[in-house]
Amino acid sequence: MTDPSDTTAERLSTRPAARLRSLAWVARRIGGGLFVLWMVATVIFFALRLIPGDPVDAILGGPGSQASTEAVAHIRADYGLDQPLIVQYFLAMAKLAMADFGTSYALKIAVAPYVLTQLWSTLVLTIASLVVAWILAVALTLVTSGRGGPARAVGSGLELLAAAVPHFWLASLLIIVLSNTLHWLPPISVPGPLGLILPVLTLALPLTGFLGQLMRESLANAYEQPFVVSARARGESEWGVRFRHVLRHAALPGISLSGWAFGSLLSGAVVVETIFARPGLGRTLLSAVSIRDIPVVTAVALLSALTFIIVTVATDAIDRIVDPRVATQ
């Protein structure tokens, strides 16, 4: 996930130069991130206006309204919807640049605080799921790889199946088994950690499958690297080899893809939030799109993009730390 235009042929070993390079990298990434945000805002602006239907309906609280012609015209003027599209675009971009996300068409409240609250709830869910998925994937891979025979096949098979399971199906199965039958956990998301377990498991298990498969491949590749031979020659134990040397390299593709995984978790969160009655960005997005609440959809899109960019930059930074080779590629 390194920026491909960052090609340097030299291997600079001087510290100040390396620090400067790091700073330049950070600056470049921030600039790139802002650019992406602007592009996302533009795409969303025009895409949402392509959706058939009049935004005024959403503001009036739904298409079945009895509002008079004057009321409709009044609202149109109020919200600036009677201006030419390009004017609306520049006004919208200007507002966004000043972090003014406007008012929700349907809920008539300020969008920013509302979406942020929902984001928090979803973040808790997705980060917990990512962490759990990582832990499970690492554990499964470390324990079952490197040896031949059944353990490896079983581990591999489990990961395969887990990655192929749709979220909503898994959620139903988990609810049937852990809630309806065993009564261990509540079927809906209640406040507190207990209500978080089933939603997190639902999102984490398929991701575990995916990450596990990935790690297994790169673990096997990493075993063939020369440094493993030299480590073994130095007399390191098998577990020492695994932890100190191999894991670092094996984790690389997983770390790189965590950014993408985060994005897919956000998408999966929609289903999980719907089924477990959990507030969150996913549900907010679903209902906002269906009632054409443009300010909310815009805010969700930008917030997701921002989160994604932050996660990507963070994982790239971790990449650079875990594998210094990346910094000089």
Partner 1 sequence: MSAPRILLLPLAIAATAALLAGCTATPEPAAEPISGGTLVYATGDAEPGCLDPHVGGNYPQALISTQYIESLVSKNADGEIIPWLATEWTESADGLTWDFTLRDDVTFTDGTAFDADAVKTNIEHLKDPNTASSTGYLAVGKIDGIDAVAANQVRFTLSAPDSALLESLSQPWVGIQSPTALERDQATNCESPIGTGPFIVTEWVKQQSITLERNENYNSAPDDAEHSGPALLDSLEWRFIPDAATRYAALQSGDVDVIDNAQPNNISSAESDPATAELNAPRPGASNRLELNSGKAPFDDERVREAFIRAVDVSPGIDSLFFGTAERSYSVLSSVEPDGVSMPDAFTVDPDAANALLDDAGWDMIDSDGYRTKDGVRLTLDFPISTNQSIPAEQSLFEQIQASAKDVGFEVNLKPTDLSSWYGALFTNEYNLVSAPYTKVGPDVLRILYHSDSIIPAPSGYYANLAQLSDPALDEILTTASQTSDAAERAALYEEAQSIIIDGYYVLPLYDQQNHYLYSTSVEGFRALPTVSAPTFYDAWLND
Partner 2 sequence: MTEILAGRLSRSNPAGPTAHRWQQLGRNAGAAVAIAALLVILIAAIAPQLLTSADPDAVAPVDAFQSPSLTHLFGTDESGRDVYTRVVFGAANSLLIGIAATVVGLSLALALGMLGGLGGRVGDFVSTRVVEVMFALPGLLLALVFIAIVGPGVVTSTVAVGLSTAPGYARIIRSQLRSVRNSGYVEAATVLGHSRLRIVVQHILPGALAPIFVLGTLGVGQAIVWASSLGFLGLGVAPPAAEWGAMLSSGRTYIDVAWWLTVFPGLAIVATAASFTVLGRALNERTRQGALG
Shortest Cβ 209–partner 1 spacing (Å):
25
Instruction: Please work out, in degrees rounded to the nearest 5, the angle formed at the alpha carbon of residue 321 by the alpha carbons of 317 and 322.
Output: 115
Residue 296 near partner 2 by CB under 8 A? no
Please name which of 268, 27, 240 lies closest in space to residue 165, comparing C-alpha atoms: 268
What's the farthest any 2 CA atoms get from each other in the chain? Answer: 85
DSSP helix/strand/coil, 163: helix
Answer yes or no whether residue 63 interacts with partner 1 by CB under 8 A: yes
- Phi/psi zone of residue 10: left (φ > 0), alpha (ψ -120 to 50 degrees), beta? beta
> Mask: binding to partner 2, 204-243, rule CB under 8 A, as x and -?
---------xx--xx-xx-xx-------------------
d(CA 87, CA 74): 19
Distances (CA, A) of 186 to 131, 176, 239, 298, 313: 22, 11, 39, 34, 37
Which amino acid is residue 293, in one-letter code? D
Pick one of 4, 16, 52, 193: the residue that binds partner 1 (CB under 8 A): 52
The region of 8-16, 80-88, 101-109, 144-152 touching partner 2 under the rule CB under 8 A is 144-152
Q: Could you please report the per-residue DSSP string of 310-329?
A: HHHHHHHHHHHHH-HHHHH-
Sketch the per residue contact string, 261 through 280, with partner 1: x for CB under 8 A, - otherwise. -------------xxxx-xx
Torsion of CA 117, 122, 124, 126, to 10 degrees: -160
Q: Which of 87, 91, 176, 194 binds partner 2 (CB under 8 A)?
A: 176
**According to CB under 8 A, which one of 24, 34, 109, 161 is a site residue for partner 1?**
109
Interacting residues toward partner 1 by CB under 8 A: 52-54, 56-58, 60-72, 74, 103, 106-109, 114, 117-118, 172, 175, 179-180, 183, 186-188, 190, 274-277, 279-280, 283-284, 287, 289-292
Interacting residues toward partner 2 by CB under 8 A: 4-5, 32, 35-37, 39-40, 43-44, 47-48, 50-52, 146-149, 152-153, 157, 160-161, 163-169, 172-173, 176, 180, 213-214, 217-218, 220-221, 223-224, 253, 256-257, 260, 263-264, 266-267, 270-271, 274, 282, 285-286, 289-290, 292, 297, 300-301, 304-305, 308-309
